[in-house]
Amino acid sequence: MKVTGIIAEYNPFHNGHEYQMKTVRQALNPDFLIVVLSGDHVQRGTPALLDKFSRTQMALCCGADLVLELPVSYSCSSAEYFAEGAVSLLHGLGVVTHLCFGCETPRQELFIKTASLLNQEPPSYRQALKASLKKGLPYPAARAGALTACLHPNQADSEEAALLRSPNNLLGVEYCRVLDKLHSPIKPWPILRVGSGYHEQSFSDPDSYPSASAIRSYLSAHSDLNGLYSQMPRTAARLLQKAVKERRNILEDDYSLLLQTQLLRESLLSLTEYLDLSEELSRRIIRNRNQFQSFSQFCRLLKTKEVTYTRIQRSLLHVLLNLKEIYPVSYARVLGFRKESAELLHRIKKEGSLPLLTKLANAREILSPSGQKLLAQDVFASNFYQAVSSQKSGLPFIHEYQKPIIIQE
Amino acid sequence: MKVTGIIAEYNPFHNGHEYQMKTVRQALNPDFLIVVLSGDHVQRGTPALLDKFSRTQMALCCGADLVLELPVSYSCSSAEYFAEGAVSLLHGLGVVTHLCFGCETPRQELFIKTASLLNQEPPSYRQALKASLKKGLPYPAARAGALTACLHPNQADSEEAALLRSPNNLLGVEYCRVLDKLHSPIKPWPILRVGSGYHEQSFSDPDSYPSASAIRSYLSAHSDLNGLYSQMPRTAARLLQKAVKERRNILEDDYSLLLQTQLLRESLLSLTEYLDLSEELSRRIIRNRNQFQSFSQFCRLLKTKEVTYTRIQRSLLHVLLNLKEIYPVSYARVLGFRKESAELLHRIKKEGSLPLLTKLANAREILSPSGQKLLAQDVFASNFYQAVSSQKSGLPFIHEYQKPIIIQE
């Protein structure tokens, strides 16, 4: 049985995502396609535009067979932890044969070699890295240079270094590093990214694929969705339209009041207990909290040369969601599946090392104490998202335990 | 020197309050009039309609010489604690000669006698109370009956019992009980309440005084303030108009999202740590929190025969404001004064047992550790209020420490 895994956020799902699924189907012809999806909060440190069940529905309508949730402490984390959570989840299913990801340099062997080297850190690499850092080079550049120095000492630059210099490849390298560490039988399968860059804010080329970021920009500037219909598969566009009409779409600034009052509760000491909050950043937060206007404005205010905007956004989200610890991935939570995937679920149950969680009510019996803590973080984060959504839309609050998983006919 | 104290909320200030001040001036001819004012959160367990500095300004414009803040753990508390906080504050100033309060039965000696008896609890009273409670009478009725049984054993009813049966007298009785306990030289001075009842929702009689509650109702139903100008002194109306125009007026439902997400953080155990939260009420909160729609709707949902709506509202506010302990009143915080009150401030500094706090920056030097904790509760509660107000209005957040006290020319 061939099973391909994809790690995604679908924030929201668009034509580029559909293209990726179709390409995977053509290239690998898998029996099943599993998506590991960020839950209600995504890697850039914000709430997702749409809740995870809406995004799961989009994925299932457009080609996925099974959607699993990436726990919030991994989904709102640096590339390294994001990769660790998602890949170890796929690995633990025991059935995945390929991991497909988008990149700029679709050369499998290059990814594998680079990942393995970064994991091993041979002495020549470590020495070169140390020397470059001493010279004051920033870490990414130092790392790329050290890789060349170690692999091709007589060259000025190497393909591996070039790989590391493209941000679109970096996540793929992290995925491969986790596969390497786990000695996983899963084969990495890089495919060329098409369409606009990750941060592209407009639909520049009508024949090209959009970026999720451009779609979110469009939504914040337009009251109608007409300009989006050409950018998204029909079902995804309809789901988005319904959510927007019901005012269920959430942006980081819907969290502004919550963040401001939460920060008033904190002290320098209590802030440093959250994930990713250094003492330096905590100090800046305390020093600047009287200038708070909104979530996004406050992130811009805290931004320095040393710390990325995204890192700050994630840190603040950790404060809101009370994230203080990362527990190991110890279950696979099902958000939805196609009805015809019964065999896949059956095989995972038989061959996987992680229990499949389909009903939260069973969690206590199935999960270890640390697994229960991991799940509790997700339940709180999703209830938090749901509370904001229900206050904004006026629709009833539905507790995470009451939400059925999506079963697509 | 004659100094009269008034305990008030001015939520908001209206003609009835002005009438009270004028009556006090005529009846007692005091040299100075001191108001103890609930801060940004009031006794019915809600945020005040306007922030404390706006309400201080109203009071100073309309007749007060000095306005002091009643700390939040007392202002959002039962009649008993509310009275304890406010009266011990006035007593500690060392200069107050009279305490003036509104009532239905303006007979000083009756208040003094009733209060002293409730404090002493002589055996005959205690026996009668016990017997009535055993018969299943509710506490207020049992207490009124026991008072008659103890004072006038051969009568079916007594004036003292009648006093206790009017809700408008009860707060006065509590004030007098605190004066009695403190052996305070302050003389209680009940004056007849005029105008609509406390809970009256409309301006029934054009020649009568309104209730603050009717004004709040009017504001939530009308977009213009035209109907209010006849109900409030001109300056107070102008201040209210300005606040409404700037969207700085706050209602309990402006706290809805904050309360809903805070309740998601709590457990049965953590809830019972807050002031006034019995295990029974905590259990009802946890059981019903998925039905949360808004602050007011949730209070109605939790309401039972045994627990008043106001008590529930206060309990929920305690959760939001993190109120877990009541510290003794150990300072007098100045919110504002008339410029001509210099002598009054001078005398308080000389004769009072409580330090006068005019600058928060001095708090650490002046206050005991427990006084600093009392103040920290107020600073947090006011910053919380200010955050909500600044998010609603779009005006900059101003930290409690940055706000100047009001000095009225």
Locus of tokens 């060259």 = A155
**A205 alpha-carbon distance from chain centroid:** 26
Q: What is the ipTM of this complex?
A: 0.92
Distance from CA of A303 to the nearest CA of B (A): 20
Task: Give the pLDDT confidence of A94-109 residue by residue, as tens digits.
Answer: 999 999 999 999 999 9
**Encoding tokens for residue B241?**
């108009």
Q: Which of A257, A292, A322 sits opposite B258 (nearest CB)?
A: A257
Q: Is residue A178 exposed (0-12), middle (13-18) or buried (19+ Cβ within 10 Å)?
A: buried
**Encoding tokens for residue B19?**
């009438």
Nearest C-alpha neighbor of A317 from the set A256, A240, A397: A256
Question: How many angstroms separate the CA atoms of A174 and A257, rounded?
Answer: 35
Contact A66, A76 (CB under 8 A): no
Residues in chain A: 409
Determine which of B255, B258, B261 to mutate to test the interface with A (most A C-beta atoms within 10 Å). Answer: B261
Distance from CA of A384 to the nearest CA of B (A): 6
Q: What is the mean pLDDT of residues A190-214?
A: 72
Determine the pLDDT at residue A198. Answer: 52
Determine the pLDDT at residue B226. Answer: 86
CB-CB neighbors (< 8 A) of A292 in chain B = 387, 397
Q: Taking CB atoms and an 8 Å limit, are B388 and A264 in contact across chains?
A: no
Q: Taking CB atoms and an 8 Å limit, are A391 and B258 in contact across chains?
A: no
Q: Taking CB atoms and an 8 Å limit, are B387 and A258 in contact across chains?
A: no
Nearest C-alpha neighbor of A324 from the set A145, A16, A76: A76
Judged against a pLDDT cut of 60, whether residue B197 lies above it is answered with: no
Locus of tokens 């799961």 = A56
Half-sphere exposure of A179 (CA within 13 A, CB side): 25
How far from B14 is each of A228, B18, B58, CA to CA, in Å? Answer: 54, 7, 9
SS3 content of chain B, % helix, strand, coil (to 5): 55, 10, 35
A272: DSSP letter = T
CB atoms within 10 A of CB B265: 13
Residue of B nearest to A395 (CA): B293
B204 Cβ neighbours under 8 A, 6+ residues apart = B196
Nearest C-alpha neighbor of B383 from the set A320, A257, A261: A261
Question: How many angstroms separate the CA atoms of B4 and B189, rounded?
Answer: 9
**Encoding tokens for residue B7?**
């305990």
Distance from CA of B381 to the nearest CA of A (A): 10
Judged against a pLDDT cut of 80, whether residue A186 lies above it is answered with: yes
Contact A99, A179 (CB under 8 A): yes
Task: Give the pLDDT confidence of A20-75 residue by residue, as tens digits.
Answer: 999 999 999 999 999 999 999 999 999 999 999 999 999 999 999 999 999 999 99
Q: Which of B261, B292, B390 sits opposite A258 (nearest CB)?
A: B261
CB-CB neighbors (< 8 A) of A398 in chain B = 290
Judged against a pLDDT cut of 80, whether residue A207 lies above it is answered with: no
Determine the pLDDT at residue B222. Answer: 86
Task: Give the pLDDT confidence of B335-378 residue by residue, as tens digits.
Answer: 999 999 999 999 999 999 999 999 998 899 999 999 999 999 99
Nearest C-alpha neighbor of A33 from the set A43, A20, A45: A20
Classify each residue of B340-364 as buried b or exposed e, where b means 16 or more C-beta atoms within 10 Å of its C-beta.
ebeebbebbeeebebbbbeebeebe
pLDDT > 70: percent of chain A: 97
Distance from CA of B323 to the nearest CA of A (A): 12
Cis status, amide bond into B12, omega within 30 of 0: yes
Determine the pLDDT at residue A193. Answer: 83
Determine the pLDDT at residue A357. Answer: 96
Q: Taking CB atoms and an 8 Å limit, are B399 and A290 in contact across chains?
A: yes
- Each domain of chain A, given as residue ranges in start order, spans 110-165, 252-320
* Mean confidence (pLDDT) of chain B: 93
Query: How confident is residue B196, by pLDDT bands cut at 50, 70 and 90?
Result: low
Tell me the torsion sign for CA atoms B175, B180, B182, B183.
positive
Determine the pLDDT at residue B403. Answer: 95
Q: Taking CB atoms and an 8 Å limit, are B258 and A256 in contact across chains?
A: no
**H or E element in which residue B361 lies:** none
Contact A31, A66 (CB under 8 A): no
Q: Which of B264, B391, B398 sits opposite A387 (nearest CB)?
A: B264
- Which CATH number among 1.10.3720.10, 3.20.20.80, 3.40.50.620, 3.90.470.20 corresponds to the domain B1-104+166-251+327-409? 3.40.50.620
Task: Give the pLDDT confidence of A221-257 residue by residue, as tens digits.
Answer: 888 888 888 899 999 999 999 999 999 999 999 999 9
Question: How many angstroms separate the CA atoms of A259 and A236, rounded?
Answer: 30
Judged against a pLDDT cut of 90, whether residue A157 lies above it is answered with: no
Nearest C-alpha neighbor of A58 from the set A247, A244, A233: A233
Distance from CA of A399 to the nearest CA of B (A): 6
Judged against a pLDDT cut of 70, whether residue A358 lies above it is answered with: yes
Q: What are phi and psi of B338, to 5 degrees?
A: -80, 145
- Lowest-confidence pick of A302-311, B209-218, B286-295: B209-218
CB atoms within 10 A of CB A242: 12
> What is the DSSP secondary-structure string of B18-36?
HHHHHHHHHHH--SEEEEE
Distance from CA of B296 to the nearest CA of A (A): 14
CB-CB neighbors (< 8 A) of B319 in chain A = none
SS3 content of chain A, % helix, strand, coil (to 5): 55, 10, 35
Contact A59, A8 (CB under 8 A): yes
Locus of tokens 């006093």 = B163
Q: Taking CB atoms and an 8 Å limit, are A260 and B322 in contact across chains?
A: no
Q: Taking CB atoms and an 8 Å limit, are A397 and B293 in contact across chains?
A: yes
Query: How confident is residue A200, by pLDDT bands cut at 50, 70 and 90?
Result: low
Q: Taking CB atoms and an 8 Å limit, are A261 and B384 in contact across chains?
A: yes
Question: How many angstroms separate the CA atoms of A68 and A72, rounded?
Answer: 12
- Lowest-confidence pick of A197-206, A358-367, B347-356: A197-206
Q: What is the CA radius of gyration of chain A?
A: 21
Question: How many angstroms separate the CA atoms of B43 and B312, rounded?
Answer: 12
At residue A312's C-alpha, the angle toward residues A310 and A313, to 5°, is 65
Judged against a pLDDT cut of 60, whether residue A199 lies above it is answered with: no
Locus of tokens 């995470």 = A400
Question: How many angstroms separate the CA atoms of B64 and A367, rounded?
Answer: 64
Chain A residues bordering chain B (beta-carbon distance below 8 Å): 256-258, 260-261, 264-265, 290-293, 322, 380, 383-384, 387-388, 390-391, 396-399, 402
* Mean confidence (pLDDT) of chain A: 93
Q: Is B98 helix (H, G, I), strand (E, B) or coil?
A: strand
**Encoding tokens for residue A322?**
């009370």
Query: How confident is residue A275, by pLDDT bands cut at 50, 70 and 90?
Result: very high
Determine which of A254, A260, A288, A380 to mutate to test the interface with B (most B C-beta atoms within 10 Å). Answer: A260
CB-CB neighbors (< 8 A) of A396 in chain B = 293
Residues in chain B: 409
Task: Give the pLDDT confidence of B6-41 residue by residue, as tens digits.
Answer: 999 999 999 999 999 999 999 999 999 999 999 999
Determine which of B40, B257, B267, B288 to mutate to test the interface with A (most A C-beta atoms within 10 Å). Answer: B257
Question: How many angstroms separate the CA atoms of A355 and A366, rounded?
Answer: 7
